[in-house]
Amino acid sequence: MKARIHVTLKPGILDPQGKAIQHALGALGFGAVDKVRQGKVIDLELAETDPEAARANLTEMCEKLLANTVIENYAIELDAGPERSTAP
C-alpha cells in the first residue's frame, strides 16, 4: 500500500526558509504572495494491506521518527503517492 506523509512546521514556529522562498518569488515578480511555509513529503510503500493497521503503523512512525512533534505536525494520506501528482 502506498502512503504519503506531509510534515509541516507548527504555526508560530519560525520558518526562515519559507521567508527566503517568499522573497525569491517576489524577486521573480510574484508580489502577491503573503506567506510561504515549507514542509516535506515522505512517500512510503508498505507491505501492510489493511488500512487501519497501516494508519496505526504510520502514526507510530510519525510520532517516533518522521516528524519532530515538538515543532512539526504530520498528516497521513493512504493510497497516495507520486503517481497521484497532478503535474504533467
Residues that bind another protein (CB under 8 A): 13-14, 16-17, 20, 64-66, 68, 70-71
CB-wise, 68 or 75, nearer to another protein? 68
The residue among 50 and 68 lying less far from another protein, judged by its C-beta, is: 68
Which residue bears the cell 507510530? 60
What cell was used for 49? 494491506
Cβ atoms within 10 Å of 10's Cβ, excluding its own:
12
Cβ 22 to another protein shortest distance, Å: 13
Q: Which is nearer to another protein, 63 or 79 (CB)?
A: 63
Task: Please classify residue 7 by burial: count the beta carbons closer than 10 Å to its beta carbon, then call 0-12 exposed, 13-18 middle and 19+ buried.
Answer: middle
77 Cβ contact list (under 8 Å, min separation 6): 3, 4, 5, 6
Residue 68 beta carbon to another protein: minimum distance, rounded to whole angstroms: 6
**Least distance CB 50 / another protein (angstroms):** 26
